[in-house]
A and B are shown apart, each in its own frame.
Chain A
Amino acid sequence: GDSVTQMEGPVTLSEEAFLTINCTYTATGYPSLFWYVQYPGEGLQLLLKATKADDKGSNKGFEATYRKETTSFHLEKGSVQVSDSAVYFCALVRSGYSTLTFGKGTMLLVSP
């Protein structure tokens, strides 16, 4: 079945550091890929998405590129802020479906 693997957290960074959160997937066909963010005590919000190979999703300074050859969708940000502290979920949707398969989430902690 479909699956998403994310790096274990927490990831602890200082403000303005570079962020990478790794995500790889296994799926039938050509899934769409997503990053969702969950701030403390809140629900999930879509951060960015990519629907086909080589697409780059971007939002709020975050970027991720759909790499079919490595089945990856790593999340990056050049300079993190304290307000980016949250749990980040990588997810996929198989073509023709809309049910999300999530990774286990990666907690990011940014200190001043």
Chain B
Amino acid sequence: DTAVSQTPKYLVTQMGNDKSIKCEQNLGHDTMYWYKQDSKKFLKIMFSYNNKELIINETVPNRFSPKSPDKAHLNLHINSLELGDSAVYFCASSQDFAGGPQETQYFGPGTRLLVL
């Protein structure tokens, strides 16, 4: 039973296309996140949702739009893909945003996006 799952695992696409990455968690958590890992393995938060509401939106181009249809899902839609969007995107979840630093974040396996 996968706690945090992402689809697809690999995504190869052309510049200018629009694509979506899906994330689902079966942990009953209230908070979900998207992180981007660049080619040098550096990880940075992109978005955080708590109970389907956007909590954190770091300086991410507005071509990236997260959507949370329910607490268990947080999808990432990317418009007009650019070469620099090539990265690994990780979804994560935790019990509660306001739960403080005691809360562990559980990560999905990542989606490897390559823009040609």
Contacts and interface: CB of A to CB of B under 8 A. Distances in A.
B94 A102 contact: no
Nearest to A105: B41
Contacts of B4: 43
Given A44-B90, A87-B41, A89-B43, A100 B100 contact: no
Contacts, number: 63
B31 to A, nearest CB: 6
Interface in B1-53: 4, 31, 33, 40-45, 48
A105 B42 contact: yes
Contacts of B107: 36, 43-45
A26 interface: no
B100 A46 contact: no
A44 B42 CA distance: 12
A61 interface: no
Nearest to A44: B107
19 contacts: A31-B101, A32-B101, A38-B41, A44-B90, A46-B106, A49-B104, A51-B102, A95-B100, A95-B101, A96-B98, A98-B96, A98-B97, A98-B99, A98-B105, A99-B48, A100-B43, A101-B45, A102-B44, A104-B40
Interface size class of B (residues with CB under 8 A): 20 to 34
Contacts of A49: 104
Contacts of A104: 40-42
A52 to B, nearest CB: 9
Interface string A7-37: 0000000000000000000000001100010
Interface string A92-110: 0111111111101101000
A107 B42 CA distance: 12
Interface string A60-73: 00000000000000
Contact of A43 (B90, B94, B100, B103): B90
B41 to A, nearest CB: 4
A46 B107 CA distance: 9
A102 B48 contact: no
Contacts of A87: 41
A99 B41 contact: no
